[in-house]
Structure 1
């Protein structure tokens, strides 16, 4: 049975003293955002978030004194673009997390009104909150609101560098493979190509979409690199093929890649 690497409560920190000042907006009381409420209580015990209501002009004092603003977005058009821009302009001294619900994930680059550096899917909220607490404590480098996706990868990868791991990435999606190789290189890995004869520590294989040739491909990898761990990347971990050692959700973030690498024998 392969191990599944996913974010959870253990990614958080213990009590922070003094507590940061937090504003909470959106439909945070909805069932899908239970993880947001739970992680705030777990990682920041004793901290009581203050409610932030759009439009935000009448709450400028609260925004000015906030350390962290969490926006729970249930669907793509929930907030007007000008309201989002106003919050971004006013929250210059606060860290901002926009937590996307399931309906928002399909909006992606085309309909999002928030910069890539502040938005996070709901299953990565625990990880992002833990990192923003470290930023607030001064132990992690903040990702600027204006950061591109590549800049965000570079900054976040500095948190969890892995040294001297030799890996191979296989994917039918060339753009995804290049992104993953860049992320792994940022974590300190040595990237090999399929025709290299170096001994591999791990093979990262994109198993989406499922197809009949995957089992043959996995057997071939085992024959070529019997000592390597096979780490499958999938949007649907429960559907990953047998024969892999670890499954990492594609949207679970680079911290989970680092966690998978640390688990290597």
Structure 2
């Protein structure tokens, strides 16, 4: 299916700062044929009924629990049964999946992962991915989010990271993965080994007391739970290897978290929910930066 542009129905307080990732995903990555914004579900359905308009994609911005009534949500799902539906929820709604069931599990996604989810829904509309049923279980929903987006090589090439891939053999590549969670640590290691064709990906439960014999190119740190303990370990790491960039991983990073971790040498902060797509891109971006810096140093008199 060659879908060149899409009709989008946007519902909720999309103008809030917290919802910026949703706006960016819609306005920077999608070729929108028509966009209609309503503050609530009833007014959105009035537009649909009066104009007999059925959008390809419905994106809901949920800012607080119980913002939308169960009856209205059921009407929305029933009326737009053929539309792809995504409910992007903010920090105040994190516990809704445990103590409320207004929105189906299959349509809920945290704001920090909205970009990837919307991209997946576009792939569904283009016929490049199987749709996630609205009745999907938690396991099925996790599997849908865990699948890589499109052709990853094409994505990297578009971002200019192909040059970084060519530069990898000339760099002393060693990525250190630090996390107290053994299962998560080894999952990240396996993911990075698919990305780094040359070099070593090493796992560590915590920051080592002494530098390794082989120089580290970059480090990937599990920053949960953020606090004094992790901050002290990052300081220790920075004292030993001040020039090594750090990519941080957090469950649901907020905009202020990115500023909070910057003084500790964390140059990129990746959401764990979007790690399958965002972490490889962050690694390749750093490789590109390292190769550019090396070229500048080599050309300096």
Same fold, TM exceeding 0.5?
Answer: yes
Q: What is aligned with 1:152?
A: 144
Q: Is the 8 A contact 1:28 1:36 kept in 2?
A: yes
Question: For 1:97-246, what aligned pairs fall within 5 Å after superposition?
Answer: 97-111=86-100, 113-140=102-129, 142-145=131-134, 146=136, 148=139, 149-156=141-148, 160=152, 167-172=175-180, 174=181, 178-179=183-184, 181-182=186-187, 185-186=190-191, 188=194, 192-194=202-204, 202-207=218-223, 208-211=225-228, 214-216=231-233, 219=236, 229-234=245-250, 235=253, 236-240=257-261, 242=263, 244=265, 246=267
Q: Do the aligned partners of residues 245 and 49 (structure 1) sit closer, same or farther apart at CA in structure 2, a change above 3 Å counting?
A: same
Alignment match of 1:248 (pick from 256, 269, 283): 269
Q: What is aligned with 2:41?
A: 53
Q: Is the 8 A contact 1:214 1:241 kept in 2?
A: no
The structure with the greater share of residues assigned to helix is 2
Q: Is the 8 A contact 2:185 2:203 kept in 1?
A: no
Distance 1:31 1:239 in 2: 18
Q: Do the aligned partners of residues 53 and 243 (structure 1) sit closer, same or farther apart at CA in structure 2, a change above 3 Å counting?
A: closer
> Offset of 1:192 from its aligned partner?
4.1
Match of 1:93, SS state, is: coil
Partner deviation per Cα, 1:99-152 (whole Å, 9 max, x = no partner): 213432354543353344422333443443344333323345544441525313
Q: Is the 8 A contact 1:100 1:121 kept in 2?
A: yes
Question: For 1:57-96, what aligned pairs fall within 5 Å after superposition?
Answer: 65-88=54-77, 91-96=80-85
**How high is the TM-score relative to the length of structure 1?**
0.65
Structure 1 unmatched runs, 5+: 1-15
Q: Is the 8 A contact 2:113 2:271 kept in 1?
A: no
> Offset of 1:77 from its aligned partner?
0.9
Q: What is aligned with 1:6?
A: none
Work out which structure has the larger RCO, using CA pairs closer than 8 Å and 6 or more positions apart in sequence. 1
Match of 1:203, SS state, is: strand
> Offset of 1:98 from its aligned partner?
0.7
Distance 1:198 1:38 in 2: 43
Distance 1:194 1:18 in 2: 46
Bigger Rg, which one: 2
Q: Which runs of 4+ in 1 moved over 6 A?
A: 55-58, 60-64, 161-166, 197-200, 225-228
Distance 2:112 2:286 in 1: 24
Distance 1:242 1:157 in 2: 32
CA RMSD of aligned residues (A): 4.5
Paired residue total: 246
Structure 2 unmatched runs, 5+: 157-164, 206-211, 288-301
Q: Do the aligned partners of residues 159 and 84 (structure 1) sit closer, same or farther apart at CA in structure 2, a change above 3 Å counting?
A: farther
Q: What is aligned with 2:8?
A: 22
